[in-house]
Amino acid sequence: MRRRTAAVAAITVGASLLVPAAAGASPVPVPGRPKPPVKQPVATGYGGAVSTVDLDASRTALDVLKRGGNAMDAAVAAAATLGVTEPYVSAIGGGGYITYYDARTRRVYSLDGREFAPKGMKQDAFIDPATGKPLPFDQAVTSGLSVGVPGTLAQWDLALRRFGSRDLGALLRPAIKVADKGFVVDKEFHDQTAVNEERFRDIVPTRELFLPGGKVPAVGSVFRNPDLADTYRQLARRGTDWFYEGGLGREIARTVAKPPVDPKAARDVRPGLMERGDLAAYKAVTRKPTHVPYRGTDVYGMPPSSSGGSTVGEALDILGNFRLDPRDPVTALHYYLEASKLAYADRGRYVGDADKVDVPLDELLSAGFARERACLIKPDQAATAPVAPGSPDGSYEPCVPPGTQTRALAFEGPQTTHLNVADKWGNVVAYTLSIEQFGGSGITVPGRGFLLNNELTDFSFQPPAPGQAPDPNLPGPHKRPRSSMAPTLVLKDGRPTLAVGTPGGSTIITTVLQILMNRLDLGMDLPTALDAPRATQRNTPQVFAEQAFIDTYGRDLAARGHRLELFPGPPAGVIGAATGLELLRPGLVQAVAEPARRGGGSALVVHPARSVVGGRPPTPPGTAR
């Protein structure tokens, strides 16, 4: 993730600092530019709050709240701004999931804006016909074949029609302003461009936009995207039908079918299967959220096609069978890692797009299945991973034999972003959005200023061998690939108390789960729970962890059989970049972002409070003082 301050404020220093309003960035830092304001990772106050990875996006959302917009309005406006300032992870060429608490109905809703595959995609779409083997991952990513039908705009349209109070055109204006005037390039943006430089050079419109003058944008230079500003203006005027049924949709389908590769490039960028009819067929969907009770609270998340809600929920159900004592964090973490291991085994075996495959969701989240899985956990010894999936069949024994074989963990890119918004009326949004890899497919729609996703690489590439269990996550026509995105809301007594989410690919689930355990079980306040060192166990032989986690808990967990290794990234040694909100009492909300991971995030409130609960940490939900 990259966080930076819009150049809008910096440019007011004087006309002499302006550079020509062309796409891309000025090639050198502009002398005399004031340093960007320091972001704050925690803000507490009244009237609404927002936490994102980016100061521009947080400011956009806050301004919407101050002008009378509600949480959904602010979330959409922030996401549109992230499409400008975070173009490698957030764009209208991607998709995402929203978990939403509506204060009027006092209900939780989930809005599925996940991309789906073209009608022409079959199970063997990622098999190279020349070899009969799966395509190398890097070749699959940088191709039209990886591009799913984008869901972001359809999701915004659905969200605003159902729950918003502003039209899309008005909410795009702040993002248009940032795209026109630009933002200051920071080291994160520079480094992530540099990582993509080789493939970006091979795709003409991507090179022209993100490598202005043929170079990676310099730190301190101003990056402008007038093409995206114009695209947003036309969307404001024409509506989302222009994207799905009109001229822009034709341009997208043409770009996917014939990627605009430099004729001199040696890279084989395969054509995709998307047609205009696939865009016209796309619909964002309102779904019933997952729900599990936990420690006196109710935890809501995203149902399939995301595995976030089901896997977080199952792991919480398993953990609910154990007493987690703040005075013994090693034992609590042991149970957390073991519950994650079991839940991931079941995720891989049973969870896919519920519109296309039978997902036994009710049984996966049942108390009986959780007890059956929990009985496999030994208090002093880690199970050898990978463990086998369970049988969520409605008939549960006190215990089942542990297994040692299961499907390998599929790759999911960690390049995603998450934001949270609460408003003065009590509405709360948790929203995770993505284009998959940093830079998605690497393919920019010519003249439109945004990258297309590579979300279809979240499918399993190869069907299982004869005799093996079926794979619920194989490609298929108009099928949504399985995701780990887990925008999560926690309610107590029917009222929202926590919102949390993170990027991180398949580590999203464990990061959200660990933050919830830290907050609800181990007595940490939300800033501490979010900042605490992390580990992820996804049914692999190793537990991957941040160095601070290894330094603090590694020896004691190794004594119980856990094999801890440094998380390989990207970025190496850093798991996730979470954001959260906590409603401390009626009207008082605390917004929380990362203080350090991936450059830190931005938390803002409408009316800052002078103190928080008498200066002491608030009581964790579900506990008593």
Q: Residue 485: name the closest of 208, 180, 96, 165 by CA.
A: 96
Cα 388-474-339 angle, rounded to 5 deg: 30
Contacts of 534 (CB under 8 A, 6+ apart): 510, 511, 514, 545, 546, 549, 575, 576
The pLDDT, as a whole number, for residue 521 is 97
The pLDDT, as a whole number, for residue 474 is 96
The pLDDT, as a whole number, for residue 498 is 98
The pLDDT, as a whole number, for residue 397 is 79
- 276 among annotated binding-site residues: no
- 272 among annotated binding-site residues: no
The pLDDT, as a whole number, for residue 108 is 98
- 483 among annotated binding-site residues: yes
Pairing type for strands 579-585 and 222-224 reads unpaired
User: CA 169 → CA 166, 174, 236, 287, distances in Å?
Assistant: 8, 10, 4, 26
- 505 among annotated binding-site residues: yes
The pLDDT, as a whole number, for residue 29 is 45
Kindly name the residue from 416, 432, 488, 497 that is annotated as catalytic: 416
Locate all alpha helices (DSSP H) within 474-539, ordered by sequence: 508-520, 526-531
User: CA-CA distance, 521 to 321, in Å (whole number)?
Assistant: 13
Tell me if 526 sits within 8 A of 443, measured CB to CB. Answer: no
* Residue ranges of the chain whose pLDDT lies below 50: 1-21, 26-30, 33-34, 401-407, 409, 411-414, 613-620, 622-625
Contacts of 271 (CB under 8 A, 6+ apart): 143, 144, 145, 256, 257, 258, 259
Q: Looking up tokens 């079980």, which residue turns up?
A: 521
Locate all alpha helices (DSSP H) within 436-541, ordered by sequence: 508-520, 526-531
User: CA-CA distance, 473 to 407, in Å (whole number)?
Assistant: 12
- What are the b/e assignments for 308-322, b being 16+ CB within 10 Å? bbbbbbbbbbbbbeb
Q: Which fold has domain 42-287+410-608?
A: Glutamine Phosphoribosylpyrophosphate, subunit 1, domain 1 (3.60.20)
Active site residue 286: no
- 480 among annotated binding-site residues: no
The pLDDT, as a whole number, for residue 606 is 97
The pLDDT, as a whole number, for residue 598 is 85
Contacts of 598 (CB under 8 A, 6+ apart): 1, 53, 188, 571, 574, 577
The pLDDT, as a whole number, for residue 505 is 87
* Cα 76 to chain centroid, rounded: 15
Tell me if 18 sits within 8 A of 10, measured CB to CB. Answer: no
Largest Cα separation within the chain, whole Å, is 75
